[in-house]
Amino acid sequence: MTQFAAYTIIGLSLGGIFALAALGIVLIYRVTGVLNFAHGAMGMFSTFVAWQVFYGTPHTGMAPWMVTAEAIGAGLLFAVVLGLVLELAVFRWVRNRPQITKAVITIGVLLALQSAASLIWKNNQYHLPIYLAPQTSTFKIADVPIGANYVVIVIVALGLAFGLAAFLRGTAFGRAMRAVSDDPTAASLWGVRVDMVGAVSWMLGSLIAAVAGILITPFINFDTTSLTLLIVDSLAAALIGGLVSLPMTVLGGFLLGLLETYPTMWIQSLGLPRLIALLVILAVLILRSPRGLPAVAK
Amino acid sequence: MTMLRIRNLGVRFGGVVALHGVSLDLNRGEILGLIGPNGAGKTTLFNCISGVIAPNEGTIHFEGRSLRFAPPHERARRGIARTFQNLQLWGSMTVLENLELPIDAIARRNTLSDALGLPFSHYAERAASERARAILHALGLGRYRDRLAADLPAGIQRRVELGRALAMRPKLVLLDEPAAGLDAGETEQLAKLLHKVRERFRVSMLLVDHDMSLVMRVCDYIYVLDFGKVLSRGEPPVVRNDQKVIAAYLGEPTPELVEASPTVPEPVITTTIPDAPQLPRTDAVEVAGETGTLLEVTGMAAGYAHLEVIRDIDLTVQAGEVVACIGANGAGKTTTLRAISGVIRPRAGRVTFGGHDITGARPEHIARLGLAHIPEGRGLFPRLSVEDTLRLAVDAAGKPERLEAAYDVFPRLKQRCRQAVGTLSGGEQQMVAMARAILTQPRLLMIDEMSQGLAPTIVCQLFQMIDVFRQQGTAVLLVEQFVESALAVADRAYIFEHGSIVHEAPAEELRRDRGLISGSYLGSAPDSTEAIEVAANGNGHHRVLDPELMEILSMRVPAEVKRALEERAEREGRSAGALALELLEEVNHTQ
Amino acid sequence: MMPGHIVRFAIAIVAFAILARLPVGLDPAFQFDAALAVIWGFGILSLVLLTGYAGQVSLCQATFAGVAAYGAGMTVAGMHGGYLLGIIIGVLAATVLGVIVGLPALRLHGITLAIVTLGIALVFDKYVFQDHIFDWFTGGTGGWQVTQASLFGIPVDSSKHLLTAYDVMLALFCMVAVLMVNLHQSGAGRRFRAIRDSELAASTMGVNLARYKLLAFALSASIAGMGGSFYPLIAGSVSPQPFWVFTSLQLAAIGVLMGVRYVPAAALGGLFMAVVPDVLTRYGHGTFMNRFNYDISYDWFQLAVGVLLVLQLILLPDGVWGDIRAKALRAWDVVRMKPREEVRPA
């Protein structure tokens, strides 16, 4: 029972990370129509920037929490700039291209970011994570010890999800973003600055990817590829929400996290979680796909 | 003999009923017309027959066999071919290849043999190519043979689509809007072509079109769809004089309709024209005081990709004026509005709005200058709630947030303010679009096909809103399929034909002189008796040819005999079918 | 045979003669690159059929090659079969996987299909090729070792007879390439292209969508598998790394970059993918003008591929070969003094 509870907590925190990454994917996809295969790679790069600041620069005379804050701040700032640069340099120019072309462009971005990162940080695995809460701090609920870092992830994931929802629902800019996601041409006819909305959603999406990347560091021996390939699990979670619904995406993320964690109670395998993710994608897609020819159903 | 028998067909998309209890019979050799306003379910019916979507209920039988479990390609093999309203040619293939494909798709060619280039494939290839060339020749498309289909103008593409459908050796051809974008002369040619096609290729046809003149002229029998139901059916003259049809099609609500239809919605707009005191008047005084030329378009040309749709457009709108643009489908009205509001870039010419040169400016920039464009399909955001949509309008225009002004005019929107716009009815959606103009008080409002797919009573009330805008000081540029209503409310009108403006006149004048519009808009006027005669003649020979004879004729006849028959028919200026009948009778006599 | 067939056949023979001479006399590492270029050439060729002709997206082409490589390795090293049998088993395995991957494609399209195929690539990379459950197929941690192999009695194993293997592969590649061009110009090819341009029109004009989509996936997988099944031969062993998920992504990227609709782009892409990284890693370090030290590694290659792909999709949507081809055609028109036909709007 205790073991089950422990795995549940691990699954939930893993799910929180999937949910976060998926949120960014859905946000960018809905507003700009780009399905971002490079989302994992963007998060990876920002995470490594944060890691570099954390471990690679001298912090004489700084309190530990300040070092953490500085590293995370640097990572997030980098993420925002990265999102903006990508939008300005690449995706602004291909807005009217077919969706699949835009997706292939993100594959180019993925390859470039991944190899750039492994040029800088080499292909080693990194074991030194960034902890938001002290590594050793745990508390107990009904005799189950819970690491504070796990709780942090769940809280951050839910907080960001609700924050994003509130931003989209409650602010003028959020309304503009939703309008652009429904119909960019119509939105421009209503006077919405579509370019700016696109840039902001890339910055936000990149930011969320960075948060997910930084949060996952305590749980895996991370390297440039494993974080990049997080994209598959995130896309699976995003597909549970149909690439549209934010609440369903978050739910899908947590669900997928649990699904991928429970089997590891019995089987220790690198690839099994991915197989589960794939099966979930397939099941969801087949259930969701409309009757008739896709060309008409669209 | 019934070739196509449809019973009780029903289709729902989510909560929207697209078709309900539709029954239809098509006889062999017949050209059946299917008409109705936009959104009446005509294309949905086509999609059901060709197997693209599965109906929720009802049956379709083709030549006595159910089509229920037949996938689209199986239906094609049984002899159902179709064309598409939004052209679906294979753009990266040449015209010839477009026609060859259906020929050998039916023939079940072997992939391996094709890759190896075995003799079998070689012969099949030659046969397909020859047949395709013959059809291209018959349709007068020979010179486009080696062009890529995507590079052709839309009118030619439509003819290629017809050719592609015929290449399949079909028994039934479904034609979806073959006359879209054609002018009166071309439509007449098309009518003749369709009769020729029926004779030469021995096909039955189901024809959907907006152009009443074409349908009336070509079809033997007509079904009228409205809101997914069969509103009326009969031979052309009967349908033409049916009051319900006139009401549905021309947007003139008649007392009979109001009585007959139990589902006429209660009045939805409370504002009456003479007194609209609850209208916000903050900037109105200032705006209404504006005089002079608001919008000036000179020598504008625009288009999409390879196609130039409009050219030499000169158009002005004075402050506070209501101007209508009328003309056939595809005449370039919508493209003109899109080029003005910046959705597409003009290729030539100049657009000035309120003193600013807005040629090629971004749409959001133009919108912020006070030019609101309600595009075809209303340009709303289906997932936004009504309230959020209205807030978006005032945010973007930088106006104070007083949504009450809109709710006063459209109380129904107040009730629905939390509902997503996509779940509203068409009429309510149009109210949301127009509420934007009330809240932001633009200097010019351009509305494209305001009445599309709406019930006549609602349309009538929406037109009253135009007068409200006029009082508010907003100039209006209308593109409208209901000419009558548009001219009733407009001050001035431009008539579009073939991507240019051919006439400009005060609305009053056009109201009096119907001849001016009918030529470009309605094809030839429906009241011309000549049209009826042609239609009757067109019907002529299918009554002579009984179904059994049609069966005999569709048997394999040696090519020489067929050619001799056709040549003689051409010499004598008669139809080959009639000639064959005569010859057969002779044979019977001698026996 | 039609005249077109003869011309294509002649071009293929000339191309074979030239390409077969290229690595002769070079050091073994370059000969290995040449053989690898053919393998990746097959990979991109499979993408030309699937994406370029039939319009279906796949991000798991390297997986097909990998399955064939393991299939061949298993047959030769695990079951002591002949190498020809190994190739057959390998290609069959890839084809079966192709059909399985094609099944979801009957319901999915575009980006969703891309996601699913990426998932499949990842599952094979991390699970099938690496998990102990599949040791019977993958030969365990060390993979299969292929040291002695012969085709039709001719020894072709990697250590001494690399060029023989290269010639065999190249001949097969040229043959498949010709068949694919034939296909493109014939009825079956038109059906694939019709599915790419408009599925709706294709199905209502008598094309059996399910049949031709599955056929496209099966053929594509078997072409990728043909390349893959030679891998144990030239490398001497099989490991998961050459067929991991990033190879699939690179294949897709380089295929699109070179022009995914054109068969010659496959040869171009294969060469690019095999030779450039090796040249970079071998000659890419040293000192420039006695002052700047530089060290170019494999990662620079992938970085370049990514950046080039992005630039190409913005600037030359039809790919490198498509662009060259269009320019050549235009030049040819100028030479013949043929006026360019203008399309007159209606």
CB contact under 8 A, A176 and B436: no
Picking from B71, B92, B128, the nearest residue to C197 by CB comes out as: B92
DSSP C124-140: IIIIITT-GGGHHHH-S
Give domain status of residue C228, yes or no: yes
Query: Tokens representing C226?
Result: 């043909």
Instruction: Pick the more confident residue, B268 or A159.
Output: A159
Mean pLDDT on C17-39? 87
Mean pLDDT on B530-549? 32
Picking from C187, C193, C208, the nearest residue to B90 by CB comes out as: C193
DSSP C229-263: HTHHHHHSB--SGGGSHHHHHHHHHHHHHH-TT-H
Q: Return the closest-CA partner of residue B225 out of B49, B44, B87.
A: B44
Q: Is residue B53 within 8 angstroms of chain C, CB to CB?
A: no
**Domain tally for chain C?**
1
Q: Return the closest-CA partner of residue C187 out of B393, B108, A231, A12.
A: B108
Q: Which residues pair with B478 in a beta bridge?
A: B324, B447
Q: Are strands B293-304 and B322-327 parallel, antiparallel or unpaired?
A: unpaired
> What Å distances lie between residue B501 and B315, B335, B519, CA to CA?
9, 13, 14
Q: Which CATH architecture has domain A2-288?
A: Orthogonal Bundle (1.10)
Residue pLDDT, tens place only, B441-464: 888 999 988 877 676 677 778 888
| Binding partners of C (≥3 Cβ pairs within 8 A) | A, B
Give domain status of residue C196, yes or no: yes
> What Å distances lie between residue C311 and A108, B481, C31, C277, CA to CA?
9, 45, 31, 20
Give domain status of residue C255, yes or no: yes
Q: What is the pLDDT of residue A162?
A: 92
ipTM exceeds 0.90, yes or no: no
User: Which band of pLDDT confidence, cut at 50, 70 and 90, is reported for residue C275?
Assistant: confident
Please report residues of A whose CB lies closer than 8 A to that of C112: 239, 285
CB contact under 8 A, A115 and C111: no
Residue pLDDT, tens place only, B185-223: 777 888 888 888 888 888 999 998 877 778 888 899 999
Q: Return the closest-CA partner of residue B16 out of B426, B415, B376, B412.
A: B426
Q: State whether residue B267 is helix, strand or coil.
A: coil
CA-CA distance, B161 to C145, in Å (whole number)?
A: 58
Give domain status of residue C320, yes or no: yes
Q: What is the pLDDT of residue B587?
A: 53
Which residue's structure tokens are 């280039």?
B117
Picking from C116, C246, C305, the nearest residue to A285 by CB comes out as: C116
Q: Return the closest-CA partner of residue C61 out of C37, C38, C45.
A: C45
Picking from A90, A119, A293, the nearest residue to C203 by CB comes out as: A293
CB contact under 8 A, C345 and B499: yes
CB distance C216 to C56 below 8 Å: yes
Q: What is the pLDDT of residue A298?
A: 35
Q: Return the closest-CA partner of residue C299 out of A45, A111, A86.
A: A111
What mean pLDDT value characterizes chain C? Answer: 86
Would you state the torsion angle of the CA atoms of residues C259, C260, C266, C272, taken in this order, to the nearest 10 degrees?
50
Q: Are strands B348-353 and B293-304 parallel, antiparallel or unpaired?
A: antiparallel
Q: Return the closest-CA partner of residue A97 out of A180, A32, A181, A189.
A: A32
Q: What is the pLDDT of residue C1?
A: 52
State which residue of chain B sits closest to A188, comparing Cα positions: B364
Which residue's structure tokens are 């790919």?
C319
Among B25-39, B157-171, C195-209, the least confident range:
B25-39
Q: State whether residue B374 is helix, strand or coil.
A: strand
Which candidate in B395, B429, B445 is best for mutational testing of the A interface (most A CBs within 10 A)?
A: B395
DSSP state of C76: I
Give domain status of residue C118, yes or no: yes
Q: What is the pLDDT of residue B199?
A: 84
Q: Return the closest-CA partner of residue B410 out of B436, B431, B384.
A: B431
CA-CA distance, C202 to C193, in Å (whole number)?
A: 9
Is residue A156 scored above 80 in pLDDT? yes
Please report residues of A whose CB lies closer than 8 A to that of B375: 185-186, 189
User: Which band of pLDDT confidence, cut at 50, 70 and 90, is reported for residue A128?
Assistant: low
The model's pTM is: 0.83
Give the C window 75-114 contacts with A, CB below 8 Å. 104, 107-112, 114
Please report residues of B whose CB lies closer than 8 A to that of A191: 364, 367-368, 396-397
Picking from A179, A191, A291, the nearest residue to B381 by CB comes out as: A179
Give all strands of the β-sheet with B444-448 in edge-to-edge order: B371-374, B444-448, B475-479, B322-327, B492-497, B500-506
Nearest CA-CA distance, residue A32 and chain B, Å = 15
Residue pLDDT, tens place only, B122-151: 888 888 888 888 888 888 888 888 888 888
Nearest CA-CA distance, residue A190 and chain C, Å = 28
| Binding partners of A (≥3 Cβ pairs within 8 A) | B, C
CB contact under 8 A, C206 and B309: no
Instruction: Pick the more confident residue, A288 or B22.
Output: B22
**Which CATH number is C100's domain given?**
1.10.3470
Q: Which residues pair with C237 in a beta bridge?
A: C145
Q: Return the closest-CA partner of residue B504 out of B320, B318, B354.
A: B318
DSSP C138-192: H-STT--B----EETTEE--HHHHHHHHHHHHHHHHHHHHHHHHHHHHSHHHHHH
Give domain status of residue C68, yes or no: yes
Q: Which residues pair with B224 in a beta bridge?
A: B35, B232
Picking from A179, A193, A293, the nearest residue to B392 by CB comes out as: A179
Q: Return the closest-CA partner of residue B52 out of C186, C93, C68, A294.
A: A294
Provide the 10 A C-beta neighbour count for residue A100: 17
User: Which band of pLDDT confidence, cut at 50, 70 and 90, is reported for residue B537?
Assistant: very low
Query: Tokens representing B205?
Result: 């046809």
Give domain status of residue C78, yes or no: yes
Q: Whole domain around residue C315: which residue ranges?
A: 4-285+296-335
Query: Tokens representing C315?
Result: 């600037």
Which residue's structure tokens are 């309203």?
B85
Picking from B88, B151, B181, the nearest residue to C198 by CB comes out as: B88
Please report residues of A whose CB lies closer than 8 A to that of B381: 178-179, 182-183, 186-187
Domain range list for chain A: 2-288
Residue pLDDT, tens place only, A270-281: 667 778 777 877
CA-CA distance, C112 to C209, in Å (whole number)?
A: 18
DSSP state of B410: -
CB contact under 8 A, C299 and A119: yes
Please report residues of B whose CB lies closer than 8 A to that of C191: 101, 105
Q: What is the pLDDT of residue C158?
A: 62
Most confident of B537-541, C251-255, C295-299: C251-255
Q: Return the closest-CA partner of residue A89 out of A184, A185, A181, A199.
A: A199
Give domain status of residue C344, yes or no: no
CB contact under 8 A, C345 and B116: no
Query: Tokens representing B187?
Result: 């439509």
Question: For the packed helices C263-283 and C158-185, what is the interaxial angle rounded to 10 degrees?
Answer: 150
Q: Which residues have CB under 8 Å from C162's CB, separation 6+? A: C28, C31, C32, C35, C234
Q: Where are the beta strands (DSSP E) in B427-533?
A: 444-448, 475-479, 492-497, 500-506
Query: Tokens representing A274?
Result: 């991915």
- Alpha helix (H) ranges present in B318-475? 333-341, 363-368, 386-397, 404-409, 411-415, 426-440, 456-472
DSSP state of B152: S
Q: What is the pLDDT of residue B81?
A: 93
DSSP state of A92: G
